[in-house]
Structure 1
Amino acid sequence: MAHVNPYLTFGGNCEEAFNYYKSVLGGEFLTVMRYKDMPGPHHQDPADDNLVMHVALPIGKNSLLMGGDRPKSFGPAELGNVFSLAIDPDSREHADKLFEGLSSGGKADMPMGDAPWGAYFGMLTDKFGVQWMINYDANPKQ
């Protein structure tokens, strides 16, 4: 397994929070994606257009602080759904194995599949209520 990174979820103020973290931690964003930039079923409500879908800030040699805003259609961001662990597995097969194992007894929130950003991605909540994001990228930017 390559890396495990924290993923923070916000209710509309992700950009403000990450600009603050950037000012304290330093560095530059690797990526900032907004919901309006997502094609098809990933973008549903125009009210969410300018919300941050994904942001990544390096916080050391091998770590990223990542985050995004929770669209209104997902319900409010509140204690219990504002933190996820993001895993970057070594292969698609490893991603499937992790997804299957971690979702056993839990809930597959978004099945593994090809994502618009070019990765193989899925989200789940394990049987202990911990949220996970699994993202295999054959051509990582780092």
Structure 2
Amino acid sequence: MIKTGTPYLYFYDECNEALNYYADIFGAEILEKLTFEDVEYMEDESRKNCIAHASFKLGESVILANDFLEKQSKEKGSAKSQASIWLELEKVADITILEEKMLASGSKSIIKLEETFWDSLYAKIEDKFGIIWELNAQK
């Protein structure tokens, strides 16, 4: 049977920027980061610094990420949003701070912070890389 599930995020040559953004916004700990050059995958010299594999930690969760191996553009991608990640926050006050920080950095609100029928505060935000973050804090 299934032992665990791990989100894997794909980017359009913006993975390194996204990792730095998540470290800044969420306090993510970057565990591993290998470039195409590091793994000797050099189909295009201009992409040598793109990320072939990375992992980062949010709370107790580990998330994997990389840039698409083949050169792709956002316009030709199959979907604008590549993933949605649910973050359960420890305190109600944390969600307000995180929402403000994300919106100030250029992310856009999909669902503004609101009280929910499941007795939480909740917000849904898309970051500038197309990743959707669902922020939840139980009251």
Normalised to the residue count of structure 1, the TM-score between the two structures is 0.47
Q: Choose between structure 1 and 2 for higher RCO, CA contacts under 8 A separated by at least 6 residues.
A: 1
Compare CA radii of gyration and give the structure with the larger one: 2
